[in-house]
Structure 1
């Protein structure tokens, strides 16, 4: 072999001899990595939020999915960031899921995403560059699907793989959908079924079959585009997306911000069939218990609720569905719009009621 050929071959990253299981390189995965609501609230207690900017329409006070700054009377900037450790082993799929999840925060505010920056932390001594490229390629493919520019980012050498996006979007200030704008009497519509966190937990244990993986990947890479459409509907009053704090946790954020209570009808909540079976066996991420410990005192459960129900209600969703609060006469139209965009499981799951922020599950 010639010296030049030797030098050339040495410069090529051949990739791993055997597939690397990304989930073995981190202590958690997906939105299950989130700090629990209780610990997060304590950590943020007394932390300064800076000066009161006159054009800051949404900050941290209402636990919304993104911050919103008014630029003009007709235009507001929506900004968010989201990143986590691997929820799946395939690098391309990990990138797709993380990007879809990050962009969802923009849709949840009723905004249109326009720009993204990558957030990258990788153990470069353990991950070949070819694997890192596949993660980035997966994220880029979702940005292309969403029609937004991916314009750089920031990277560090980290002990565990981390990937996500900072995303910016735009919305008319009058069309903004916040946690704080829901109303008593609104109906609640959920766009995706629950159970993604449970599937990710059993995947890490090697218990998820190929069909379950395909189901999980389909849900976690499905962009929550209907959020942008709902921005123009005055009958839709508020939105959030269901992620790491589970359905109960994110619904409680809406209730607190809007000063309402909520009633959920467990039998009406869409759930992934395999996740229900695994929940019955006690499977799920550790975030389930952390979530319930954080907000269980604000939840009233029906005595006849199945013993496994809490595992679904508190399950840490990654790239979960939109939760929409709308006027009762708009429910059918909201569900129809969801289904037109491929969200066949969308369903009315409850309503907002008079109360002081609590949730009742019947």
Structure 2
């Protein structure tokens, strides 16, 4: 049996909806030693120079290939640390496995894929916990560290800033299409390459002093993650529609009526803030190990474009959005 056939939803599409998450977290006690800004991971000061980072991330199979599933799950978990510029120092695994229908051999392939990604940080999985479950679950718990001077919050946006991304968008639709046995060879290749690519570039980005803010675009989709970035700022976002790197194959399958359940939940959450008319399903498509959203001021645009080119990200040299003052009469999100 293909591993992506067992679970109801796959990858970051299996996340609890933002609406449910807000209901769950509302009023719960928070540790005031932490930076509580809806950050990508837990952040705590450990001395005058460093923050300790902690993240836990797991999901159900996003693809039918066990090795690629392991790579994607590991890269997705590490992404929260990399988005803050952190360097991982310890990695443990979380496993739920339906041993009555999936073999241990298959699980070993998942681990091999995960370890391949961890090797980029010169680390391997050092331990973890396993249970027997009805659906396959795999992910990582990661401890990292970052110099305070390099830490980039996810909510430092001001009028005149530009937002860039580092990966194409649309893997949720491709993953769902594969689960329906309708994904072609080219779509499969793009899906596997995109979800397996590490966001380790975040470490370099964090060391650019002119970069103001960074987050990763994952299960809540592009618009809900950008909405989160604006939640504590009096700013609005103007999207540059032609610059948003939607995967052409994803648009093809979306036009055939294939959309993710996670994307629909993301749209429902977005509509609590603004009407979603004019926004296609890919704006809400849950990304498993999606790219980084990086904020720089417009005066630093050329410096960042040069950085992207030098780091083999020339496909992403065009900003996808600009930040404008809240006093503007436009809605929170609008198009140029």
TM-score by length of 2: 0.94
Q: Secondary structure at the match of 2:319?
A: strand
Q: Is the 8 A contact 2:218 2:286 kept in 1?
A: yes
Matches within 5 A, 1:202-213: 202-213=177-188
Once the two structures are superposed, the pairs formed by residues 230-241 of structure 1 within 5 Å of their partners are: 230-241=205-216
Partner residue in 2 for 1:185 = 160
Post-superposition offset of 1:355: 1.7
2:324 paired residue among 348, 353, 358: 353
Give the structure 1 partner of residue 175 of structure 2.
200
Distance (Å, rounded) in 2 between the aligned partners of 1:49 and 1:310:
36
Q: Which residue of 2 aligns with 1:158?
A: 133
Counterpart residue number, 2:14: 33
Q: Which residue does the alignment assign to 1:330?
A: 300
Does the CA contact (< 8 Å) of 1:189 and 1:350 recur in 2?
yes
Contact persistence 2:187–2:249 (CA under 8 A) = yes
Task: Evaluate the alpha carbon distance shift between residue 277 and residue 243 of structure 1 in structure 2; reply closer, same or farther with a 3 A threshold.
Answer: same
CA contact (8 A) 1:299 1:361 kept: no
Unaligned runs of 5+ in 2: none
Unaligned regions of 5+ residues in structure 1, if any?
Answer: 1-19
In the alignment, structure 1 residue 76 sits paired with structure 2 residue 54: no
Contact 1:189–1:331 (8 Å) recurs in 2: no
Larger Rg: 1
Provide the aligned length of Structure 1 versus Structure 2.
332
Answer yes or no: is 1:278 the counterpart of 2:244. Answer: no
Deviations 1:216-241 (A, max 9, x none): 11111111122111212221110101
- Distance (Å, rounded) in 2 between the aligned partners of 1:256 and 1:310: 22
- Do the aligned residues in 1 keep the contact of 2:158 with 2:325 (CA within 8 Å)? no
Q: Does 1:89 align with 2:56?
A: no
Matches within 5 A, 1:1-362: 20-50=1-31, 52-53=32-33, 56=34, 58-59=35-36, 62-299=37-274, 305=278, 309-346=279-316, 347-355=318-326, 358-362=332-336
Deviation at 1:120, TM superposition (A): 0.7
Are 1:182 and 1:237, in contact at CA under 8 Å, matched by a contact in 2?
yes
* Structure 1 position 91, deviation (Å): 0.8
Residues of 2 paired with 1:185 and 1:148: CA distance?
A: 40
Instruction: Compute the displacement of 1:44 (Å).
Output: 1.2
- Contact 2:82–2:200 (CA under 8 A) maintained in structure 1: yes
Contact 2:87 2:121 in 1 (8 A): no
Note the aligned Cα RMSD (angstroms).
Answer: 1.8
Structure 1 residues 79, 333: closer, same or farther in 2, change over 3 A?
Answer: same
Q: 2 CA distance for matches of 1:183 and 1:165? A: 34
**3-state DSSP of counterpart to 1:72:** coil
TM-score, with structure 1 as normaliser: 0.87
Partners of 1:28 and 1:77 in 2: how far apart?
32
The alpha-carbon deviation at position 300 of structure 1 amounts to 5.7
Q: Write out per-residue CA displacement over residues 312-339 of structure 1, whole angstroms, 9 at most, x where no aligned residue.
A: 1011111111001111122233233334
Question: Distance between the aligned counterparts of 2:125 and 2:108, measured in 1?
Answer: 15
> Aligned pair in 2 of structure 1 residues 92, 28: CA closer, same or farther (>3 Å)?
same
Q: CA deviation at 1:298?
A: 2.5
Structure 2: distance between partners of 1:241 and 1:123 = 30
Equivalent residue of 1:202, what SS?
helix
